Copies of this chain bind each other. A is one copy, B any other.
Amino acid sequence: MVDERVGKLARVLVDYSIEAGEGDQVLVFGEVGAGPLIKELYARVLQVGATPITQVSLPGTQELFFAHAQGLHYEEIPQVTRAIYEGADAQIGIRSPSNTRALANVDPSRQQALQRRNRPLSEMMLEKNRWVLTLFPTEALAQEAHMSLAEYEEFAFEAMGLNEEDPVRYWSEKSAEQERLKERLEQAREIRIVGPETDLTLSVEGRTFVNSAGRRNMPCGEVFTGPVEDSANGIVYFGVPAAIGGREVAGVRLRFEEGKVVEASAEKGEEYLMSLLDTDAGARYLGELGIGTNYGIRRASANVLFDEKLGGTVHLAIGRSYAETGGKNESSVHTDLVCDLRDGGELYADGELIQENGRFREFDLLAGVRDDG
């Protein structure tokens, strides 16, 4: 028996996140471990009159690419791959790795070269603006998060609002409250983040905050923008460990001057962090400031899709900004790092304290969140 929440998730993704309808061609990407979700999506997409185009990957294929690809394979997107993306009206990506560290020993320059090659595909996806990225519980994800698979399933499905009778309504209501937060933030010129080893200011003047409540990511729950490129000044400590490109990167400290990272260190994965910062000119500038609003997530799980939404955290991405925010930074990198404000943190908008110890003063984002956490 498939968990009924998997069917609920499929309906949220198809009906709400990408709003698939008659005649749409919907790409569904996922590793084999996402099988139960892929099949629910396949059925749901057909039910709404759209056509599913599944792109299922096998465990180990990525490693094979890096082991056997030649120069030409990094130069150009295969025409068939490009045609798949071009023809699709919407896409659903599912992270369901069988091994989160499978790429740990791959030369980072190869990973970055592939990412550069594929950049037009991401841009195409962003332009069409009908995409969502989600995750399906696997043993590997549970292991990375130090949980059993059963525990991890509960953790993930709770974060996605799938214990609600009507998850679409749940996310619609969340969205309304986040809209108020977005409006408050758009009135501000300067955001200041204060916390353990952290005191950073940045300008968001004239920028748009995006209210992310179920359309782009599932779980969702964040408002984010692209800060003014040369505005970041100060220091920030990212206490939440990340798994990036198959590596653990933890305890990152960055110092910014006029928007640029001028000092960087990491307790773990420092070399990889440095290679990211040196990928291209934009990789040392910020592409995103995000504020997590999902209080259904209780703890970090070494997975950015969840950690960046964690209520009581903020995250900053080095690299590419999203055009819709007004952000202008360009890079083939977009790497989120998460700063925990739940213990002694403060968030200011033009000098006004809007969040303390991870809790907002005026915005009720806890509604619907269970008390048992």
A-side interface residues toward B, CB under 8 Å? 22-23, 25, 27, 32, 35, 38-39, 42-43, 46-47, 49, 51, 53-61, 64-65, 67-70, 72-73, 78-81, 83-84, 86-88
Contacting pair A78 B53 (CB below 8 A):
yes
Q: Return the contact of A35 from the options B25, B47, B58 (Cβ within 8 A).
A: B58
Q: Which residues of B contact A57 (CB under 8 A)?
A: 54, 56
Q: How far is the CA of A348 from the CA of B80 in the complex (A)?
A: 48
Q: Which residues of B contact A56 (CB under 8 A)?
A: 32, 56-58
Give the Cβ gap from A315 to chain B, nearest Cβ, in Å: 33
Give the Cβ gap from A44 to chain B, nearest Cβ, in Å: 8
Contact A61-B42, Cβ < 8 Å, known A32-B56, A72-B49: yes
Contacting pair B81 A83 (CB below 8 A):
no
Give the Cβ gap from A92 to chain B, nearest Cβ, in Å: 14
New A-B pairs, 10, CB < 8 Å, besides A25-B78, A39-B64 = A32-B32, A35-B58, A38-B58, A39-B58, A53-B78, A53-B81, A54-B57, A56-B56, A80-B87, A83-B84
Contacting pair A67 B43 (CB below 8 A):
yes
Contacting pair A54 B61 (CB below 8 A):
yes
Residue of B nearest to A34 (CB): B58
Give the Cβ gap from A324 to chain B, nearest Cβ, in Å: 25
Q: Which residues of B contact A84 (CB under 8 A)?
A: 80, 83-84
Q: How far is the CA of A87 from the CA of B49 in the complex (A)?
A: 26
Q: How far is the CA of A53 from the CA of B67 in the complex (A)?
A: 17
Contacting pair B46 A69 (CB below 8 A):
yes
A57, A59, A80, A88 — most chain B CB neighbours (10 Å): A80
Give the Cβ gap from A78 to chain B, nearest Cβ, in Å: 5
Give the Cβ gap from A191 to chain B, nearest Cβ, in Å: 42
Contact A79-B25, Cβ < 8 Å, known A39-B61, A68-B43, A84-B84: yes
Q: Which residues of B contact A69 (CB under 8 A)?
A: 46
Q: How far is the CA of A141 from the CA of B193 in the complex (A)?
A: 61
Q: Which residues of B contact A68 (CB under 8 A)?
A: 42-43, 46-47
Closest 5 CB pairs of A and B: A83-B83, A80-B87, A46-B68, A56-B56, A51-B78
Give the Cβ gap from A33 to chain B, nearest Cβ, in Å: 11
Q: How far is the CA of A81 from the CA of B64 in the complex (A)?
A: 25
15 pairs, CB–CB < 8 Å, chain A vs chain B: A25-B78, A27-B80, A32-B32, A32-B56, A32-B58, A35-B58, A39-B64, A42-B64, A46-B68, A46-B69, A46-B73, A51-B73, A56-B57, A80-B87, A83-B87
